[in-house]
Amino acid sequence: MKTRFAKFQNVPEMLRMWSTFADVKAAEDLKLPVPDIRIRDDGNRAPLTRGVAPSSELVAFVKTLGERAEMIASGSVDPREDNMLSVTSDGRKAALDMRLIVSDDPSGPTKVDVAADMIFRTWENTRDTEYLDTVTGEPSPIKGAMQLVFSDLSTPNKERWNVYEELRTQLIYRGMPAEGIRFIHEARNDLEKGRLFAAARAGHISVLLGSTERMGVGTNVQARAIALYHLDCPWRPSDIAQREGRILRQGNQNEEVAIVRLVTERSFDSYMWQGVERKAKFISQVMRGRLDVREIEEIDSASLTAAEAKAISSGNPLLLDQANLQSEVTRLRRLERAHQNNERMLEYTRSQAVQDAARAADDIEGIRAAIPNMIDTTAEKFRITIQGRFYDSRSDAGHALMGWARQANMQYAGRHQVQDYGVIGRIGGFDISCELVPEMAGDVLVRTSLHGVPRGSFTVTRDSFLQGGVGLIQRIENRMAALPKLLTEAEQDLARAEQTRQDAEQRLGQPFKHALALSAAEADLEKVEKKIAVMQRQTPEEPTPEPERVSASPPRPELTVEAVRAYQPRGGVRSEPDQQRPHTPAAAPSAFDPMPLRPSGLQIGR
């Protein structure tokens, strides 16, 4: 078994500790001179999400992922053979490009095709834009903006097909100069990286591709950056912030920039972006100290649940809604139970405080009544009676007490039940009593008490009592002399008990503050479950057979769990000759993409 970090607990207390030493300033607080994000069609300044239609191969493969998730959840597959982390990894690769899973050409436009179209259009529109030289501050003779492309998956590899090389090939085919398309991976050390960054700032690079790790912190290329593209989605919101921080940065000479998130529909992309958004919202609440839940899940998980994989693979968004709503309802019900448990605890606390207050009040009354009866036994005034004999020497009294204990066979008694010896002497006007009390651990204790003195007893082990001597006599004497101190302690206990009772009564009966959210989530879940039930009762229509398509390539084998597992390597070498494949438009051109797509039926070389 391996342990790993799973949850944050006691979150409000953690945030109080955090606020004692952390002074958080977000980007919106600093008002730094950075470019604005280009306005979308809906009027908001926010990253543009560009949807990419899934290929038939991707749809079939995602279904196999759902089957794998069910097998993993049922325990019918060895975790060393397949697990949810592997399912998640394959799902992310397929969402980026199916050629990372199988080597066949896709049947339609891919995310790389769409990205190449958008990047080329932006390059066409900005190739004559003038910029200032970052060194001299004078107008630069080199014109043209620069674009950044991020992908953490399928980085450059000379031995196998990868997204980086494919995207560069697509851009060169469309007409971009090859020398203007560079990879951050070309820089093998800090010196080479510095030269690459200088070339980007000077305008010699039109497109720079890289991963978050290589092109994140410390990348200073923003001078001409006009657009940034996310080909995939990382796991952490901090990675998104690092990526977008390369363009939303001081020193960028563009007043507006575009940030584009390419999302393949009906794939793991939607889940990934939703997950990052949820994590980012939580982190923002933590930084601002606005989170009021007691417990939260760890935010850097690198795999999804079987239920989420099944919902994604089904292609039915209702199933994913159902999974999310069930999770939300479960969380809110857990909070409701915690609220109810807290109410019961407050009831118990109030009841206990009432009892403690009554006990302290009784002790105060008894101690006040006992104080006038005290007889001074300090110094030469010491007097004590043990078993009817009078002593004025503490040493003699100690020996007499030891002799009585041995005569009473105290060393052998009290092992299984309480042994009460009654009154064994008198000191300072109070009777002294003694009893043996057996302990759960097998020890035997001796409880010595002063009659009429609340809180006037003390307990020692039997061996200590049998060897007590003068020290034991002094403890009995000090217990009587401590009556004024015991009175002060009892009064303080009474005040604390009263304050505890008042606090509990004030907090009792508070309504559950998430009651409305729980009701709304339960209602939404009920609606979704009803819709799913209706869909399950309906008889599915027979699919209309598609007309046969003439193709020179052999038919593709059916994508099954076994076929995918048997295929090695994933994303392997593209050694076979490229097949010609029709290219259909990925989506209608937007205001950001004014240039039409390339003609259909043309082959893209690699």
In the numeric block, the tokens 């797509």 are attached to 597
Does residue 264 surpass a pLDDT of 60? Answer: yes
Both tokens assigned to 32: 């730094």
Which letter does DSSP use for residue 98 in this model? G
Identify the burial level of 550 via C-beta atoms within 10 angstroms of its C-beta, where 0-12 means exposed, 13-18 middle and 19 or more buried: exposed
- Quote the CA–CA distance of 506 and 185 in Å, as a whole number: 63
207-210 and 181-183 beta bridge pairing? parallel
Both tokens assigned to 313: 């693979």
In the numeric block, the tokens 């674009």 are attached to 147
- Quote the CA–CA distance of 431 and 452 in Å, as a whole number: 8
- pLDDT at site 121: 95
Both tokens assigned to 128: 């004559």
| pLDDT tens for each residue of 347-372 | 999 999 999 999 999 999 998 988 88
Q: What is the mean pLDDT of residues 519-525?
A: 92
- Quote the CA–CA distance of 549 and 398 in Å, as a whole number: 111
- pLDDT at site 66: 84
Q: What is the mean pLDDT of residues 191-196?
A: 92
- pLDDT at site 271: 77
- pLDDT at site 553: 39
- pLDDT at site 564: 47
Residue predicted with more confidence, 132 or 300 = 132
Instruction: Report the length, in residues, of the chain.
Output: 606
Residue (of 11, 602, 575) closest to 298 by Cα position: 11
Residue predicted with more confidence, 229 or 405 = 229
Does residue 563 surpass a pLDDT of 70? Answer: no
- Quote the CA–CA distance of 243 and 229 in Å, as a whole number: 9
Q: What is the mean pLDDT of residues 13-32?
A: 80
3-class secondary structure, 211: coil
pLDDT category at 203 given cuts 50, 70, 90 is very high
Residue predicted with more confidence, 154 or 31 = 154
Sign of CA dihedral 412, 416, 422, 426: positive
Residue (of 163, 183, 172) closest to 95 by Cα position: 163
Residue (of 328, 304, 234, 229) closest to 62 by Cα position: 304
Does residue 502 surpass a pLDDT of 90? Answer: yes
Q: What is the mean pLDDT of residues 258-282?
A: 83
| pLDDT tens for each residue of 282-335 | 777 777 766 666 666 655 555 556 555 556 655 566 776 787 788 889 889 988
- Quote the CA–CA distance of 179 and 185 in Å, as a whole number: 15
Asked if residues 276 and 236 have their Cβ atoms less than 8 Å apart, the reply is: yes
- pLDDT at site 289: 67
Q: Which of 12-26, 146-160, 353-367 has the lowest mean pLDDT?
A: 12-26
Contacts of 597 (CB under 8 A, 6+ apart): 117, 583, 585, 586, 589
- Quote the CA–CA distance of 205 and 201 in Å, as a whole number: 8
Residue predicted with more confidence, 571 or 334 = 334
| Long-range pairs of 422-425 with CB within 8 A, sequence gap ≥ 24 | 423/451, 424/386, 424/387, 425/384, 425/385, 425/386, 425/387, 425/401
The verdict on pTM exceeding 0.75 is no
- Quote the CA–CA distance of 372 and 377 in Å, as a whole number: 14
- pLDDT at site 248: 92
Burial pattern 2-38, b for ≥16 Cβ within 10 A else e, equals: eeeeeebeebeeebeeeeeeeeeeeeeeeeeebbebb
Q: Which domains does the chain have, with CATH numbers?
A: 7-315 (3.40.50.300), 375-484 (no CATH)
- Quote the CA–CA distance of 500 and 356 in Å, as a whole number: 10
- pLDDT at site 588: 39
- pLDDT at site 304: 57
For 49, 348, 353, 491, 493, the CA distances from 504, given in Å and listed in that order, are 51, 9, 9, 20, 16
- Quote the CA–CA distance of 233 and 465 in Å, as a whole number: 73
Q: Which of 171-185, 193-207, 470-484, 486-500 has the lowest mean pLDDT?
A: 470-484
Q: Which of 104-108, 137-141, 355-359 has the lowest mean pLDDT?
A: 104-108
Both tokens assigned to 167: 């995207």
pLDDT category at 3 given cuts 50, 70, 90 is low
Residue (of 454, 437, 455) closest to 446 by Cα position: 437
Residue (of 395, 459, 448) closest to 426 by Cα position: 448
Residue predicted with more confidence, 299 or 134 = 134
- Quote the CA–CA distance of 256 and 125 in Å, as a whole number: 14
**Computed over its alpha carbons, how large is the radius of gyration of the chain?**
39
- Quote the CA–CA distance of 367 and 355 in Å, as a whole number: 18
| pLDDT tens for each residue of 365-396 | 998 988 888 888 888 888 899 888 998 898 88
Q: At residue 150, what are phi and psi to the nearest 5 degrees?
A: -115, 135
Sign of CA dihedral 267, 268, 273, 279: positive
- pLDDT at site 6: 65
Mean pLDDT of the chain: 81
Three-state secondary structure of 51-91: EECCCHHHHHHHHHHHHHHHHHHHCCCCCCCCCHHHHHHHH
- pLDDT at site 232: 92
pLDDT category at 20 given cuts 50, 70, 90 is confident
- Quote the CA–CA distance of 290 and 293 in Å, as a whole number: 10
Range ranked top by mean pLDDT from 56-65, 224-233, 270-279, 423-432: 224-233
Percent of the chain whose predicted confidence (pLDDT) is above 90: 34
Q: What is the mean pLDDT of residues 259-281?
A: 83
- pLDDT at site 291: 64
Q: What is the mean pLDDT of residues 207-233?
A: 92
Q: What is the mean pLDDT of residues 174-181?
A: 94
At 105, the amino acid letter reads D
| DSSP-assigned letters across all residues of 337-378 | HHHHHHHHHHHHHHHHHHHHHHHHHHHHHHHHHHGGG----S
- pLDDT at site 313: 55
Does residue 126 surpass a pLDDT of 90? Answer: yes
Helix segments in 371-436, DSSP class H: 394-407
For 122, 276, 546, the CA distances from 57, given in Å and listed in that order, are 30, 26, 16
